[in-house]
Amino acid sequence: MLLLAHRGASADAPENTLAAFQEAVAQGADGVELDAMVCGSGEVVVCHDEHLQRLAGLPWEVRTTSYWKLKGADVGSRLGFKPERIPLLEEVLDALPSHFLVNIELKCDHADDGGLSQKVAELVTRRGLAGRVVISSFNPLCLFRTAAAAPSLRRGFLIDPDKRWGPQAYVVTPLVSSHSVHPYHGQCTPERVEEWRRRGLRVAVWTVDDPTRARQLEEMGVSYLITNKPRAMREALRGKAA
């Protein structure tokens, strides 16, 4: 089971920043999970929230704010860390080691994604990273667009625990997932994981910081564990193996 640092090692550095991704490397993660969206000037930035109130105490909406302005926002201090800024997706890809798996979540709740899917697909393809990138999203339209732009890119549907399980798991997932399915860890049972694996899908669960639960999921056959604490989860899993 591979360990992916959730928004970087976000228990120990501000989420979705270069500092968090560098910390993920230092903690021995196998890769990272990150959030990508298009900002007001068209660049793909790495940020989870649509607005910067929680992260920076600012009312700015990311998709309508230019990057030159966004990069001046401090998204570290309010989370209890040193000041950090919102990076471009390309900057993050530059900073990660060549062996790292990168789970890029396309963040868009709208029918029109502002070119997000196309831009990310083109960036990953241009840089020759298809072999170590997984594209995920709660929005099936984003995954359809990704498939149209770059059919070979690995795609995985994120299952929303606040929506009906059946249509997401048994209708949408087979339509848009070519590589994996991404449920909340509490939705995983041995039977469900086995069924997905039988259909050729890897299972990527989020977000797990409890060692006991991590061991359970590994025993079920989960492929990717998304965690805020990669070092702690690695130590817990190694302890089990020992």
Position 241 scores a pLDDT of 46
CA–CA dist 35, 157 (Å, integer) = 14
Residues 82-123: pLDDT tens digits?
999 999 999 999 999 999 999 999 999 999 999 999 999 999
Task: Supply the DSSP string of 152-192, one letter for each residue.
Answer: TSEEEEEPPTTS-HHIIIIIIHHHH-SSEEE-BGGG--HHH
Bigger pLDDT: 182 vs 239: 182
Please state the domain count of the chain. 1
CATH number at 220 reads 3.20.20.190
pLDDT of 15 strictly over 70: yes
For 199, counting Cβ atoms within 10 Å of its Cβ (0-12 exposed, 13-18 middle, 19+ buried), the class is exposed
Q: Is the pLDDT of residue 36 over 70?
A: yes
What's this model's pTM, rounded to 2 decimal places?
0.97
Domain that holds residue 52: 2-241
